[in-house]
Amino acid sequence: MEKRFPIETVKDEFRLWAQWVKPELNLSASALMLCEYGFTEMLNNVLDHSHGSTVSIRVEQDEQAVTMVIEDDGVGVLASLREYFGLDSDVHALIELVKGKLTTAPQAHSGEGLFFSSKMFDRFILESGELAVTFAGDQCTVATIAARQGTRIQMQLANAATQTTKQVFDQFCDTEDFIFYKTRFFLSLATLEGNLVSRSQAKRVTARFEAFSEVEIDCRAVEEMGQAFADELLRVWVLKHPDTHLEVTNASPAVLKMIRHVRGRTDLPQPPG
């Protein structure tokens, strides 16, 4: 089913979910909760941030999975972030967006909705400008697309999904105080701007890492990095921010060799970890 709504007439994303989407779905309790979270969070983003006139919603379910698509004709999430924060490209905006805790309306939003929604589905695709980023399991890939207006979000989930929203939150939040303390950054995103060679590139990667007490740097699909980049990322930044622990995962042999090199210097104090 598919329907297009004037954005000004959609006053309550929960009621639209409860009255129009939920009754059409046949899902496990866990899958239904995941879909509710993702749908209401992404539709609320359209209502509050898109500056568009129309939102299109499509929901399909077959024997294996449910797919929900939310598409608006607004300014586009990457363009909005780029303008609000003074970033110099859509890639730079994407690099910041995937870290979490980023919003153009800090008084009304926490910048957590898209981060957690992208972790709740088997496949979560965001299209904005000329970029399409796909989160699938613990992987993140980016493709170039024909330039589009607005933002398109596609969320796909198995009907019998057993993962719960709590399990997703527990991966990144304190289980007692529910503090969003950990993020995962896919270093391959930085390679969209070029080879990882300079300190300035590393500084773009580490921007706002200090907002978290733990940062996982997933090096999947990164074949190598330069000495200056690695030194700035994994030694200099760590020494300046002892309250944030950086963990490197899925590093190639060449990347591991460079990490050992920059962390093995004996002429300066060594970072923890």
pLDDT tops 90 at residue 266: no
Give the pLDDT score at 263: 84
Domain spans in the chain, listed from the N-terminal domain onward: 2-162, 182-263
Query: And the tokens for 238?
Result: 């760590």
pLDDT tops 60 at residue 232: yes
Lowest mean pLDDT segment, chosen from 63-72, 99-108, 110-119, 231-240 = 99-108
> If you compute the radius of gyration of the chain from its CA atoms, what whole number of angstroms results?
20
Architecture of domain 2-162: 2-Layer Sandwich (3.30)
pLDDT band at 113 (very low <50, low <70, confident <90, very high): confident
- Exposure string (b/e) for 169-183, b if CB count within 10 Å is 16 or more? beebbeeeeeebebb
What predicted TM-score, i.e. pTM, was given to this entire model? 0.91
* Cβ neighbourhood burial of 227 (10 Å; 0-12, 13-18, 19+): exposed
Mean pLDDT of 10-21: 92
Residue 213 DSSP code: S
Q: Are 216 and 249 in contact (CB under 8 A)?
A: yes
pLDDT tens, residue by residue, 28-56: 999 999 999 999 999 999 998 899 999 99
Q: How far apart are the first and last CA of the chain?
A: 51
Give the pLDDT score at 225: 95
Mean pLDDT of 194-199: 95
pLDDT tops 80 at residue 145: yes
| DSSP E strand stretches across the chain | 2-6, 54-61, 65-72, 123-136, 139-158, 182-186, 214-218, 245-249
Give the pLDDT score at 265: 60
Residue 194 DSSP code: S
